[in-house]
């Protein structure tokens, strides 16, 4: 008896929901308090994935078989890193002048 091929949309939905739950569990276990915005973000994304199967409306913002857009995925990774305590310092450089090169 052969099994039917799994539905890729259902797999993406399940993976996204598991990732959201995993991040929330990591934050609770580590005792890290998420900001109000982060908590609201996780809750709203979870609601949209449960309701629509994906968390974004514009198909150009994410891959066809994915439940989260590229930016949502990146934010989820940032929140996960914060929960794990892997916070990296911001390394932004302005558009200022570069120091002159010296020839020795």
| Count: domains in the chain | 1
pLDDT less than 70: residues of the chain: 87-92, 104
Domain-embedded: residue 96: no
pLDDT of the residue at 43: 92
pLDDT of the residue at 103: 73
Domain-embedded: residue 104: no
CA–CA gap between residue 68 and residue 48 (Å, rounded): 10
Domain-embedded: residue 63: yes
Domain-embedded: residue 50: yes
Quick: pLDDT tens for 16-38: 999 999 999 998 998 888 889 99
Domain-embedded: residue 101: no
Domain-embedded: residue 16: yes
pLDDT of the residue at 87: 64
**Residue located via tokens 């039917």:** 4
Determine contact, residues 82/75, Cβ cutoff 8 Å: no
Domain-embedded: residue 99: no
Domain-embedded: residue 1: no
Which tokens hold the place of 40?
Answer: 């609201």
Least Cα distance to 68 among 6, 21, 20, 24 occurs for 20
Structural domain range at position 30 = 8-84
Least Cα distance to 24 among 75, 91, 80 occurs for 80
pLDDT of the residue at 46: 92
Whether pTM exceeds 0.75: no
């Amino acid at each position: 008896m052969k099994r039917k091929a799994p539905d890729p949309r259902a797999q993406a939905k399940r993976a996204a929901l598991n990732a959201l739950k995993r991040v929330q569990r990591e934050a609770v276990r580590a005792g890290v308090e998420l900001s109000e915005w982060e908590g609201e973000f996780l809750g709203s994304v979870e609601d949209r994935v449960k309701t629509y199967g994906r968390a974004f409306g514009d198909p150009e913002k994410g891959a066809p078989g994915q439940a989260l857009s590229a930016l949502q995925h990146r934010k989820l990774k940032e929140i996960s890193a914060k929960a794990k305590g892997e916070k990296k310092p911001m390394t932004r450089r302005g558009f200022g002048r570069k120091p002159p090169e010296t020839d020795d």
